[in-house]
Chain A
Amino acid sequence: MSAIRVSGVDVAFTTASGPIQALSDIAIDIAEGQFCVLIGPSGCGKSTFLRVIADLQAPDRGEVQVFSGNAAEARRARRISFVFQEATLLPWRSVIDNVRLPLQVGNWKSVGRPHRDPNELVQLVGLGGRESALPHQLSGGQRQRVAIARALVTRPDVLLMDEPFGALDEITRERLNDEMLKIWQETGTTIVFVTHSLSEAAFLGQSVAVMAAHPGRMSKIVNLDGEKPAGAIDRSSSRFFDITSDLRRHLETAEGMAMT
């Protein structure tokens, strides 16, 4: 069953220098439980596309289906969680209270789904013992871990992540990638993950959608299911190198398309 089905989506923005076609005729079908990575040159509308799925941006044309309903219905049913590039923690709330936030707003009680234990989630993201710390006392990586715990607390069917580790250093980013993969395997949530890092895409993606810019559109969807049977892959293996090179080639093709 497909978790997210998008067809014929157009989004245009009006700017001071005229209209910009952010997305043009986007179509993708993301199966339930899939880890889908979106990659593409900057300005290709990856973030816009994610925001369309989250019902943060209304498409000018086209259809977005999230499970049985449209994006707005999925949002109101609290089936979607979003992790931003900035952790976006409320600075006056402690770690544990930030993780609890989704359960305190948006009619969560009437949704009636069993939620996850916030304390357990703080443990899961490796911040056990820091429950009462305030965001300004945490590092950038730790703040992003809290944001991930907050996104998971509602047991979302769809987890949308917009360059969540883009502002972190390489080592922290790789560690969080390892943990992200574990979290995905443990929860079975459908994840759509935007990045502009090739190695992040190669490591995390079960399928990688390569986008092209001006206007933003799908260029190629690479399925890595066969390449990574166990889900994870050794970053120093030649297979990982091959996947990365392959993705780079697709990305270059996408950029070439944009230039013509």
Chain B
Amino acid sequence: MIKLLEGPQTLGRGPVFWSCFLAVLAGALIYPLFADSYDVGNFSYFLIWIFMALGLCLMWGYGGMLSFGQTLFFGIAGYAYGVLAINMGGGTTTIAALLLSVVIAMIAAGILGYFMIWGGINGIFFGIVTLSATLVLAFFLGQTAGPEWHIGDARLNGFNGMKGMDPLAIGSVYIEGSALYYVMVALIVIVYLALRMLVNSGIGNVIVATRENPQRAEMLGYDVRKYQLLTFVLGSGLAGLSGALYTSWGQFITPSSIGLPAAAMPIVWVAFSGRSDLTATLVGSFLLLFGFQTITVYSQQAALVLMGALLLATVMAAPQGFVLGIGKFVADRLTGRGKRGEADLSAASTLKTDEA
């Protein structure tokens, strides 16, 4: 199992990489001791979105399925957590609400994924069908104002969004502040390492083979549809985890976190970071979220313009992603492969670009 942490599908191996990993982790763990609670809360907020980015990285970078529906499953799980937490009461049951809402998002992904994947929808259409579903959910929730729209005791409240659910709690103790931060860090470490193992395992190799050439993978005896559905359900489930955590963090969720422009954000993070590697996505998404939040304080529109410009710049200048490119460059320098490694890489990346 441990061996699978390193492999051909993930960048970063050997003592240097893992020392860096542990150093960053240690920094993350002692951070709350030095920072004030407001900053810790903000950091938890950035970490919420990482799951969604990692899920998209798995689907798009490894599975070759460009889903524009991350916020669809984010919204389904976010609203599901709200409905469940309000109806089942607070306390420890909120943990069950969190798990159930992720399961609900995965079931929804399974149903939508079945029709698309078994129908044979691919490439561009996969993106626009998932985006259509996302926008329809956002429109639907946007018009659910009024007392007649409720599930049990939970009012959907239309465009203003649902509120009043309890945050995650154990017994009568709310998981918030530093405790929530540590829960997030732990979840990210678990999800990140688990995804590394997944993509380096046999299943992961089939997922990558399907991305490279679905016909060839099928000829080798794999039912690629099952692997694609698995990838889609897992990736969307991670978006669901983000959604449920988001609702719990702020005790509200609105349709605007589902529709445009929110739906474009995961695409920007992952494209800018480098979709073909989990580590690049993790680092890049965090940096972008940090930058976005800093600018949003002054002007949300300006921050979104910058996001659009980054997306455009990425596809025009570095289709493989900026963070990934820089990471590979640094890694080459460190391992002393120097110029030759670079030349090979750039040759490989131009080849890939042409194919795509």
* Mutual binders A and B: no
